[in-house]
Every structure is written in C-alpha cells, then in structure tokens.
Structure 1
Amino acid sequence: MAGKVAPARRRGLADEVADRIRDAIFGGAYPPGSQLREVELSEALGVSRGPVREALLRLEREGLVRSEWHRGSTVTTLSAQDVSELDSLRAALEHLAVGLVIAHAPDEDIAAIADAARRMERASDEHEMVRCDIEFHDAVYAATHHQRLQDAWHAIRSQVHLFLLTRVGLNSDGYLSAIPNEHRELVAALRARDTETALDLFAVHRRRAFDVLQGHIGDSAD
C-alpha cells in the first residue's frame, strides 16, 4: 500500500490555515463581501498559496466563502433566501434537540448548558457574544447524545455564526444586554423540563435575529 495514500502533512496545514481564516472572519477582520486574496493570505500566514487555496475550498464547503471566476473568493454575503433557509433548517434541528434534551439529558448536561449561558455575561463585545451564543447551542446539541443530529448542526454551524454576525452588523442596539437574559430563560425552561415553554422561547430567540435580517436584507433586495 506504500505510495498509494497522499501525505497528511499538507492536509493538516490546510486545516490550520482554514481555522485561522475562519477565526479572522468570525472576529470581524473580514466582514461579509470582503475579498480573500490568496497572495495576501499566504504572506500574512507565512505559508505557500497551496494550503491557502485548499483552506478556502474547505470554507466554501462550510458556506463561509463564495468563489466566482471574475471575483475570486469573498466572505459570503447572505441573501434573503439564505436567511430563510438557514432559519427554517435551524428551527427543525432545534425542535428535535430541545425535545431530546428535556426528555433524556441528565442534569449534568443541562448544567453544562447553563455554564455556556453564564459565559455570555462576560462577553466584552458583539463578536465574543456571538461566539458564546454558538457555544451555547453546541452544548444543547451535545446534550442530545444524538450523533447524526450533532453532525447536522455542525454542517450549518459556520453559516449560523455568519447569520448572527450579519445580524449584529445590521443592528446591535441592546444586543449585549439582552442576549444573556434570553439564554437564562432558555436554561430555566430546560431545567424545568417544560417542553412547550422551551420550544416557544427558542423560537422567539431565533425570530429576533431573523426579523432583523429579513427586514434589512429584504429592503436591500427590493
């Protein structure tokens, strides 16, 4: 079998480069619509253009990057259809996740969700708050102990992160103060094993972000 499998080193480097670029996008260095030039990225990261090209392909598969022959690679700008599809898919996944957590999750898993919610209280800016929000939902899906559901969440996780970053970029009024309280309410409903209330609160939480995006993106598309 020698020589039939490509070396793993380059793949590992491309993964690391993808992590760095992803972090830069999530940190606000490259907002939606920003160009991601291979030459500039390779110089900044101290690597050749090959791993950068591979990393951009990975990020394109995640939905964070879009490539067009006449523009090259850019950070994804969500369309009205993107927003609608992400919201509806997220709603379906969360409905299943919340039901499973309430029905089966042990108390220590709900405690881990509560810990994730508490970290929001220390967030210093909107980008950190969005990261905490995503980590909260990571904890919810982990508590389901449903591997395929977790895989489905991770398939759209980066796009949901971009969704929330786009939301705060459009309107961040009251965001830092409101989000921790919203998540305390979600935790309380999970701890009470109150399925109806929890589903309603998760839906309201999603709807707030969706309404901001739908209003601004819908207006710009007219």
Structure 2
Amino acid sequence: MRRARRRGLAHEAADRVRDAIFEGLVPPGAALREVELATALDVSRGSVREGLAVLEREGLVRSEWHRGARVIDMSPADVDEVYTVRAALECLATGTAAERAAPGHLEELSVLTDTLERALDAGADSPALLSLDMAFHDRVYEIAGNSRLTQAWHGVRSQVYLFQLTRIRLGHDQYRSVVVEEHRRLVSMLERGATPALAEAAREHVDSARRALARMLADPPR
C-alpha cells in the first residue's frame, strides 16, 4: 500500500485501504489488522480505526467483537443482496432522471458512453473502463436531483465497485462485449422518458451483471 501523506487523517487512511481492496491487494474476507495497517500507512492506530469505521459505513468492511475488521465476503447471498438493492435504486434513479433531464444532460450521458467506447477500442484496462462505467451512473443520479436517493447510492457504491471489479476480473471478455451496448440502450430509453421499458432496461442492466458474477463465482474461469 502507499503510505498516507500526512499523519492522523482517518479519511486518507480509509482512501488507502479502499484503494488496496479495489486493486486486489486485500481480497474479500481478508482480515484488516490495525497494527499492521498503521505501520504500512505510517499513521496512528486511532486513524486506522476511524478509517476502518468509514469503510464499514460504506459496506466494504465488517467488524465483529473480538474478531476485528475484515473485508466483506462475496458469497452468493452477498451478490444477491447488493445487486437487488442496486437494481431498485437504478430503476428509481433512471426514472427520475428521465423526468428531469434537459437535452444537455442526455448529451452528457452520450458523451460518457462515447468515451467508454473509445477507451474500449483503445484497449483500456478493466479498472479504467469501470471508472467510466461508474461515472455514467453517478451522472444519472446527479441528473435525478434527489439528494436522499444519491445518499442511498453512495451507501452501496463501494460495494458495487468491488463486486463489479470481481465480475470483470473473472469475466473480462464478457464485460467488454456488453458494456457499451448496455449503456447506449439506457441513453436511448432515457430519451423516451420515464416508461416501463426504461425501468426494465435499468433492472436488466443490473441483473445481467448479477447473473454473470454469480455464475463466475460458482464456476470460476480457468
């Protein structure tokens, strides 16, 4: 892990640990020991403890009495829970965004999708593609303009990011084959307004990811 730039900053410690989780340096289910993290990051144990509390609020870390903190697991039940919540949020976000979107907003989403396609054609790595993917969805929530909905999204966003990274790692080609088409479909549906077809497209976008990850966890590619 990279050392924290300044001592005593819990949020920076949280950022460094989050980065390590997303980069695969700390796998799902792994223990997060305060003493080791404090030494690696060159911060106090108190900062590490507060940083882990930040990650626990994001859902990336679970703490148990006398057992310390661990990165969340990725069981079939975990996959179902995270993607079920995400599907509900995406349906509400896209529907609300369709009602409130100005033409410029839809153009922004099209530009993001074009950027994603160019990155794909240029051979961008999976984390770069996922960052663009997530930026698209972040913008949908911003367009929706519901602060509590956005807060709910940020409550699961880190978990979604970790699960999607795992999905891509296990099924790189599958993700790359569908990511642009699925986002273009969402933009097309958004242009038609808050219709049942839009809700179905948003739900299927999330559910197809859930099915792919569940299948890969059950039978990991060689």
TM superposition score normalised by structure 1: 0.82
When residues 118 and 46 of structure 1 are mapped into structure 2, their CA distance, relative to the original with a 3 A threshold, is farther
Establish whether residue 114 from structure 1 lines up as the match of residue 124 from structure 2.
Answer: no
Counterpart amino acid of residue 50 in structure 1: G
Paired with 1:35 and 1:130, the residues of 2 have a C-alpha distance of 26
Post-superposition shift, 1:98? 1.4
> Do 1:110 and 1:143's aligned partners in 2 also have CA atoms closer than 8 Å?
no
Counterpart amino acid of residue 30 in structure 1: V
Post-superposition shift, 1:203? 2.1
When residues 77 and 96 of structure 1 are mapped into structure 2, their CA distance, relative to the original with a 3 A threshold, is same
> Do 1:101 and 1:144's aligned partners in 2 also have CA atoms closer than 8 Å?
yes
When residues 96 and 145 of structure 1 are mapped into structure 2, their CA distance, relative to the original with a 3 A threshold, is same
Deviations 1:33-79 (A, max 9, x none): 23323233223322122111110121112110123456532221122
Candidates 1, 11, 14, aligned match of 1:15: 11
Q: Which structure 2 residues correspond to residues 1-222 of structure 1 after superposition, within 5 A?
A: 13-69=9-65, 71-121=67-117, 122=119, 124-193=124-193, 195-217=195-217
Same amino acid, percent of matched pairs = 46
Gaps of 5+ in 2: 1-5
> Do 2:61 and 2:70's aligned partners in 1 also have CA atoms closer than 8 Å?
yes
> Do 2:31 and 2:69's aligned partners in 1 also have CA atoms closer than 8 Å?
yes
Paired with 1:108 and 1:34, the residues of 2 have a C-alpha distance of 44
CA RMSD, 1 decimal: 2.6
Bigger drift between 67-76 and 57-66 goes to 67-76
Indicate the SS of the match to 1:30. Answer: coil
Bigger drift between 63-72 and 199-208 goes to 63-72
Equivalenced residues, count: 211
When residues 119 and 14 of structure 1 are mapped into structure 2, their CA distance, relative to the original with a 3 A threshold, is farther
Counterpart amino acid of residue 100 in structure 1: T
Indicate the SS of the match to 1:174. Answer: helix
Task: Could you list the structure 1 runs, at least 4 aligned residues long, displaced by more than 4 angstroms after superposition.
Answer: 216-220
Deviations 1:175-216 (A, max 9, x none): 224212221221122124362332232222112211123335
Counterpart amino acid of residue 128 in structure 1: A
> Do 1:33 and 1:74's aligned partners in 2 also have CA atoms closer than 8 Å?
yes
Gaps of 5+ in 1: 1-8
